[in-house]
Amino acid sequence: MTSASRSEALEAPASTPASRSAALEAIAAEVRACTRCRLHAGRTHAVPGEGHPDTEVVFVGEGPGLNEDRQGRPFVGRAGDLLVRFLATIGWRREEVFITNVVKCRPPDNRDPEPDEVAACLPYLQRQLQALDPALVVTLGRHSMGRFIPGARITQAHGTVHPVDPATGAGSALVYAMFHPAAALRAPDVERQSYDDAAGIPAALLEARRRRVATAATAATGAATGEARPEQAAAPEAFPAPPPPDASPVDTALDAPTFF
């Protein structure tokens, strides 16, 4: 699918690779200078996030760890190495996606972020998602999942897809829940489940594309007939990821993140 046809089909906001890159870098500059919460006092580096500005897929973790704080980059320690291996099993590279966290500074001793720290940092994540307009958000761990699927339990929600509240910044995306790679490092059962969950990401992306195209078509029909229609059709609270598509030439071309 060409860049022009994909943008038209999804009725994406008018933007260019340069404008998305500029928006993401502006956010990153604010993050690096941020003093909104107490976490800034103990950081070595803030960790805004990184990746391809034109990707369809955003991975969201909880917060930086020791290695991330030292380097100013997300998922660069052992958990990051495992995330790279998860992506490799589906033929993806980390450079093809965007990776960030709910909070952008390391909590002391890797403790859970406090509610006020999360609240202070969430606007940055919302703006990143607005700039990227992803089709799929992959949450890594229960804290990230809680921002997109309130009230869900990670042991039940992993490997499933859910609609996303537009207030998160991902206006027309689906969210796919996974365990945090750090949890997989500590528990072989979780690691095995995580490899299985990673295998479902391409199918979740295909489903997200289908729903975006269907929503755009519905909106276009409503505009043509003058009928008021909702931004998104009603969606179930949760549904399993669809099975992997048949290996047809079309589906094979669609099972990796493409760029605008």
pLDDT at residue 112, rounded to an integer: 93
The verdict on residue 66 lying in a domain is yes
The verdict on residue 259 lying in a domain is no
For the cut 80, the answer to whether the pLDDT of residue 36 exceeds it is: yes
Across the range 228-232, mean pLDDT stands at 45
Reduced to 3 states (helix: H, G, I; strand: E, B; else coil), residue 144 is helix
- Counting residues of the chain whose pLDDT is more than 70, the rounded percentage is 80
Residue 252 Cα distances to 91, 143, 151, 161, 246, angstroms: 11, 33, 35, 21, 8
The verdict on residue 260 lying in a domain is no
Query: For residue 187, how many other CB atoms are within 10 A of its CB?
Result: 12
The verdict on residue 59 lying in a domain is yes
**Domain, as residue range, for 86:** 3-254
Residue 113 burial (10 A CB sphere; 0-12, 13-18, 19+): buried
Query: Minimal CA–CA distance to 143: which of 89, 192, 107?
Result: 107
CA atoms in the 13 A half-sphere facing the CB of 85: 14
Question: Between vectors from CA 161 to CA 104 and to CA 50, what angle results, nearest 5°?
Answer: 30
Number of separate domains in the chain: 1
Q: Which two tokens stand for residue 74?
A: 């997300």
CATH code assigned at 241: 3.40.470.10
72 close to 46: Cβ distance less than 8 angstroms? yes
Across the range 47-55, mean pLDDT stands at 97
Which tens digit of pLDDT belongs to each residue from 154-207? 999 999 999 999 999 998 899 999 999 999 999 999 999 999 999 999 999 999
Backbone dihedral region for residue 181 (phi beyond 0: left; psi -120 to 50: alpha; all else: beta): alpha
Which tens digit of pLDDT belongs to each residue from 103-151? 999 999 999 999 999 999 999 999 999 999 999 999 999 999 999 999 9
Alpha-helical regions (H) of the chain: 3-10, 17-32, 66-71, 78-89, 115-132, 142-148, 154-157, 181-186, 188-199, 201-225, 249-254
